[in-house]
Amino acid sequence: MPIEERIDDHFILRTIRDEKDITNFADFLTSKLNIVEGMTANCLMRFHPRASKDNFLVVEDAVSGRIVSTSGIIPWEMKFDEVRLNCVQVELILTDPEYRNKGLVRHQMQKLYSMAEQQRYDLVFIWGIPYYYRQFGYSYCIDGLVHYSLPSWRVDGEEEDAGCALREACTDDIPLLVELYDHLAASLDICLTRESKHWEYLLNSAKFHIYIVEKGNRSEAVGYLMQITDKKMIHILENSFTDFTAGMAVLRLFKKSYEEMRINWPKSTVLAQLAESLGGTLEKDTQWLFRILNLPALMEKLSPVFNKRLQSSKHRRMCGDFVLNLFHNGYKLRIREGKLDGVEEVGFVDTLMGAEGGDLNIQQDAFIRLLLGQNDIDELYEYWPDLFFKPESRALISVLFPRMDAYLYTPYHYYGPEIYKLEEKYHKYYF
């Protein structure tokens, strides 16, 4: 639904309406940040397969009509074990330096949540400015930018025995790319799904550098990689191989041209495994931030996963209630015959001396990490020592919330030729 409303006497908040708005939005990001952010905004608004104009907001100065702040949401589908969640990523957050600290982003955040709630999304996530988004109810969880840095001299063997070749991917390769991405996703409990249309966006609009790896004279396709290069360094943003030896062959191929190879997680991929075993250094760069929009609805959507966990445990016949207390609010999980039979909000749950408390009493930041399988309760206790649970519920907590293998990569940034003209200060964000 299009939105247009006054924030106060000075500002108007509205969704983008037309081509002119898209151009002005992109120009704003180009002039206040850099051309790649502008091109990215342009790509997202015009070509992203799940984008809609109503998902991008601008704040205008009511007098001059100039854009002074922007934001937007990008829809994604997340695989959570066997369930598919509808998520949105908040992006393109920027306020003109002259208009900062006037609450313009805070206002847009509230609007974006109500938009996401209305559209019945399950989860909101965001990446960015350290600490900043915590104040809007987000909690850190799940790595999304982890790489091994591998000096090329650690790769032995010569290019001649490489035995494989790379060729640029094109639209005809999309079915192959879908298949190879599904192969990668199969090794993860939590990741984003990627459909054909998204590959088309990456190849034709966002100008990603995607290569198909072919093995031997038979030109058998055994993998793909997304890459970006900077002088003597190659950064593999994503890879998926069906053949381990081809991974080693690719590293030998790159050894000739580059002094350093950076290879992104997921750690289950062939190139990441090779980089680790060849002595690459692991480098992590913060985590995603998540916000749950409607906890009972999310838990109920995840019930096939909880049911599978209960059914394969000693709780398969359990009939009872489990009270999850997030301190500000509690939720009763009704379990019948080892199946989740409903989740109900129960309001404030008292944990004072003499009160019963919940089965699990845990604050929201820690709970998101538990739910998404980042940490178990013993690990969480080290950082949130006010977490506590009924001793008799401990086994059930472990059954409901096991550790999960998770990695999120949301490729949408523009990687066209303009990226090579960026000022040095922006390199660490794109290379």
- The reply on whether position 428 binds ligand COA by CB under 6 A is no
Binding mask 117-156 for ligand COA (x = CB under 6 A): -----------xx-xx--x---------------------
Find tokens 């591998």 and name the residue: 150
Evaluate the CA torsion angle 260, 265, 267, 270 in order and state its sign. negative
Segment contacting ligand COA (CB under 6 A): 14-22, 41-49, 91-99, 257-265? 91-99
191, containing H or E segment: strand 190-192
Which two tokens mark 63?
Answer: 């007098």
CB of 97 to ligand COA, least distance (A): 7
Using CB under 6 A, which of 101, 153, 217, 417 touches ligand COA?
Answer: 101
Contacts of 135 (CB under 8 A, 6+ apart): none
Question: Is there a contact between 205 and 239 (Cβ–Cβ < 8 Å)?
Answer: no
Q: How far apart are CA 300 and CA 302, in angstroms?
A: 5
Nearer to ligand COA, 26 or 246 (CB): 26
CB of 127 to ligand COA, least distance (A): 8
Find tokens 């106060």 and name the residue: 8
- The reply on whether position 94 binds ligand COA by CB under 6 A is yes
> Which of these, 53, 70, 77, 66, lies nearest to 109 by C-alpha position?
70
Nearer to ligand COA, 64 or 135 (CB): 135
- The reply on whether position 70 binds ligand COA by CB under 6 A is no
CB of 104 to ligand COA, least distance (A): 4
Q: Which amino acid, residue 384?
A: W
Backbone angles phi, psi at 245, to 5 degrees: -65, -30
CB of 89 to ligand COA, least distance (A): 11
CB of 78 to ligand COA, least distance (A): 21
Nearer to ligand COA, 29 or 141 (CB): 29
Backbone angles phi, psi at 286, to 5 degrees: 55, -170
Using CB under 6 A, which of 6, 84, 100, 167 touches ligand COA?
Answer: 100
Q: How far apart are CA 280 and CA 260, in angstroms?
A: 10
Residues 35-50 as b/e (b if ≥16 CB within 10 A, e otherwise) read: bbbbbbbbbbbeebeb
Question: Is there a contact between 288 and 324 (Cβ–Cβ < 8 Å)?
Answer: no
- DSSP per-residue letters across 292-307: ES-HHHHHHHTHHHHH
Segment contacting ligand COA (CB under 6 A): 92-100, 159-167, 177-185, 379-387? 92-100
Binding mask 103-122 for ligand COA (x = CB under 6 A): xxxx----------------
CB of 251 to ligand COA, least distance (A): 32
Segment contacting ligand COA (CB under 6 A): 7-15, 87-95, 162-170, 277-285? 87-95
Q: How many residues in the shown chain lie near ligand COA by CB under 6 A? A: 17
Using CB under 6 A, which of 45, 78, 93, 191 touches ligand COA?
Answer: 93
CB of 129 to ligand COA, least distance (A): 5
> Which of these, 403, 409, 371, 406, lies nearest to 188 by C-alpha position?
406
- Helix (H/G/I), strand (E/B), else coil: 130: coil
Nearer to ligand COA, 383 or 429 (CB): 429
The conformation of residue 420, written as its DSSP 8-state character, comes to G
Binding site for ligand COA (CB under 6 A): 33, 69, 93-95, 100-106, 128-129, 131-132, 135
